[in-house]
Structure 1
Amino acid sequence: MNRATRTVNVTILILLVTTTVSGVLAFAVGSPGPARWTTGVHGVSGLALLLLLPAKARIARRGLRRPGRSRKVIGWVFAALVAAAVGSGVLHAVWGWGPVVAGVLPMQIHVGAAVGVLLLLVAHLVVHRRRRLLRRTDVDRRRALLGSGLVAGSVLLGTVTPGRERRATGSHEIVDVAAMPVTQWLFDPVPRLPQAGVRTPAGDVDLAGLPQRTVRAVLDCTGGWYSEQEWRGVAVADLGLPRGASVEVVSATGYRRRFPAAEAGSLLLATHLAGRRLSAGHGAPVRLVAPGRRGFWWVKWVVSVEVVDEPWWWQPPFPLQ
């Protein structure tokens, strides 16, 4: 393997790791400030991969002349997944969050392809773990300038890509409440619950008998859309919960998310959206509103609010059920 090939391969490896880490962070971060950085790094590194495709294609063509059919198949599958991940990311920016084929969203293609790339990358590194990725002589002024040009080119490409008006998280805006998608975890059916009450450590609570608050908050779904609406309900802090390290909100489906006890004042158990009672698809009769957090924190079909001693961060970072 010559120096140019090693440089291209290592650069692609660095970019793949960068896009993976920044992509995970972009899903997790809901605040506009940090989200702008994570999404920006994710986009720049992804577009840099796009700019490196011609160089990688030349390397792949040389590899076709070598024996070993399985390696060729893996290589082409890897290249196809990278192209699908980058292409669907660009499609999300240009097309929007809506389905492209068979109800599948660009963001779903993006994440699925990225997971496939990550699995093949780990397998490739394990197989070639004894191979030296980069030598000291591979790094010189010329390649440093080329690397700087690659970053500058990807930034420039990002500035001319349509969809720059999206939110800092990369999501597209939905203004009309009626157009907000009804989403749930995979194939879970929509529960039909009788009344707006929740269980607490002190017993069942009828939310209609507690002080009502109205907040304007942004629901930013990891599917690629967001909507700023008015939500009305009861603050978690008004439930009279005992002291504890964390507050855990539980859905009728078994899904749950844990929050710092200090955030109880900002969390809202909503019963109304835009002046109307919640529909079943949007989480009726009670849905959690968690301002500043991504959509998977906004627990639907809330049936209980618990106080636990475990820290809020001691839970899976993303939904697993």
Structure 2
Amino acid sequence: MAATDRLRAALDRLEPPPRAVDWSLFAFVVAEALTGLVSFTVGVPEGWPLFWLHRALGVGIVALLAWKLARVRRRLTDPGLWRRSTALSVLTLVAAVGAIGTGVAWVFGVDVRLSYWTLLSVHVGFGLALVPLVAAHAATRFRLPRRVDFERRRTAVSYFALLAAGGAAYRLQQAANDALDTAGADRRFTGSQPREGAGNAAFPITSWVADDPAPIDRDDYRLTVGGLVSDPAELTVDDLAAGHETEALLDCTSGWYTVQKWGGIRVGDLLDAAGELGDDAAYVRFTSVTGYRWSLPIDEAEDALLATRVGGEPLSHGHGAPARLVAPDRRGFQWVKWVTRVEVRAEYDLGQWVVTLVSGFD
């Protein structure tokens, strides 16, 4: 009992002032959402610190939430103290627990689907909902932060302890996965879990937002290559079957990855077929039959592949037939499916970020 009392006293000494806890919760939730969203664009191992920070912030939110609940638990458990804002508080708590719970389950290898969504997608949904809920909750008891709340030595020690605990928890979780040989032990640094096998059936069919076009007739299919080129070209499916092969890892943001051998034509060879590039050529944009699109810097694009085959099989419709972009070190949503147009451009396409949110909707 004495040891428990000492631990409780130590935790009480680490607790920041109430106003610092409230504002820190808001800041941590916003930072968690931002690091989560940015992580969707990171596919190279050198980006691991971003994922480490995301997980460390999650541990920090757990501690901050515990301090917050310890302070306001009577307002939640005593119906006589309920106010109109209590329902919002409860909803915010549900979203926070949902985000934390699904995140913890995912890193330990739990892989279930809830209707159309993976557990990771549900985690993202809870996280995105949490940001406006925390903001609305803070507005019901709005109090500006004070310098004194953040200048105390105890507060600085608390935040250092939170980040250290986050890093330690990340390492302990990895060690636990390895020791218990859970499904999470084979995850990439991105959190994605492996899908084994070769060919179309080896990995799931996923589409970004609402993209769901009808199958494209191979005989009618034409790929146009244009933009800043001297001789715009139009190619058939047979023209794209150049026999070039490359092994590349596809890491999907819905939480899985697969290593496959892709066959098709190098984008650099595709551009050569369209003559000389313009002096201002800087980017290559790949556009789907749905209107979805993504751009790559021209040096990176030349080494990418426009694939017509995977694992020795012709691509299935769901995986992007007749042709899809294979962009090593990029996340799955940047591997454009059903490519019908390749354009050389001088400027970065900011509009592609908007298209990722509306593509496929009528």
Same structural fold, with TM-score higher than 0.5 when normalized by the shorter chain: yes
What amino acid does structure 2 have at the position aligned with 1:278?
L
How far 1:317 sits from its partner (Å)? 7.3
1:204 maps onto 2:218 in alignment:
no
Equivalent of 2:263, from 232, 244, 248? 232
Residue 189 of structure 2: aligned partner: 168
Which protein shows a greater Rg? 2
1:104 maps onto 2:129 in alignment:
no
Equivalent of 2:52, from 23, 34, 40? 40
How far 1:98 sits from its partner (Å)? 3.9
1:266 maps onto 2:303 in alignment:
yes
Structure 2 vs 1, CA of residues 3 and 214 (structure 1 numbering), >3 Å: closer, same or farther?
A: closer
Say whether the 8 Å CA contact 2:251–2:331 is kept in structure 1: yes
Say whether the 8 Å CA contact 2:25–2:65 is kept in structure 1: no
Q: CA RMSD in A?
A: 2.5
Residue 133 of structure 1: aligned partner: 145
Helix, strand or coil at the partner of 1:227: strand
Residue 3 of structure 2: aligned partner: none
What amino acid does structure 2 have at the position aligned with 1:257?
W
Say whether the 8 Å CA contact 1:215–1:231 is kept in structure 2: yes
Q: Provide the rounded CA distance (Å) in 2 between the counterparts of 1:11 and 1:285.
A: 50
Helix, strand or coil at the partner of 1:218: strand
How far 1:115 sits from its partner (Å)? 1.3
How far 1:37 sits from its partner (Å)? 0.9
Q: Provide the rounded CA distance (Å) in 1 between the counterparts of 2:53 and 2:152.
A: 25
Residue 11 of structure 1: aligned partner: 24
| Number of equivalent positions | 317
Equivalent of 1:278, from 301, 315, 321? 315
How far 1:142 sits from its partner (Å)? 2.5
Residue 223 of structure 1: aligned partner: 254
What amino acid does structure 2 have at the position aligned with 1:88?
T
Q: For 1:167-217, what per-residue CA distance to the aligned partner results, in whole angstroms no more than 9, with x for missing partners?
A: 121111112232300111344434311226411222311353464321111
How far 1:118 sits from its partner (Å)? 1.1
Structure 1 stretches lacking a partner, 5+ long: none
Residue 148 of structure 1: aligned partner: 160
TM-score for the superposition, normalised by structure 1: 0.89
1:53 maps onto 2:78 in alignment:
no
Q: For 1:3-29, what per-residue CA distance to the aligned partner results, in whole angstroms no more than 9, with x for missing partners?
A: 731232233223212211211111111
TM-score for the superposition, normalised by structure 2: 0.80
How far 1:220 sits from its partner (Å)? 0.6
Structure 2 vs 1, CA of residues 141 and 10 (structure 1 numbering), >3 Å: closer, same or farther?
A: same
Say whether the 8 Å CA contact 1:213–1:235 is kept in structure 2: yes
Structure 2 stretches lacking a partner, 5+ long: 1-14, 178-183, 227-231
More helix by share: 2
What amino acid does structure 2 have at the position aligned with 1:146?
S
Q: For 1:48-100, what per-residue CA distance to the aligned partner results, in whole angstroms no more than 9, with x for missing partners?
A: 2123332121223244468663211111111110111111111111234441x
Q: Provide the rounded CA distance (Å) in 2 between the counterparts of 1:187 and 1:312.
A: 21
Say whether the 8 Å CA contact 1:190–1:280 is kept in structure 2: no
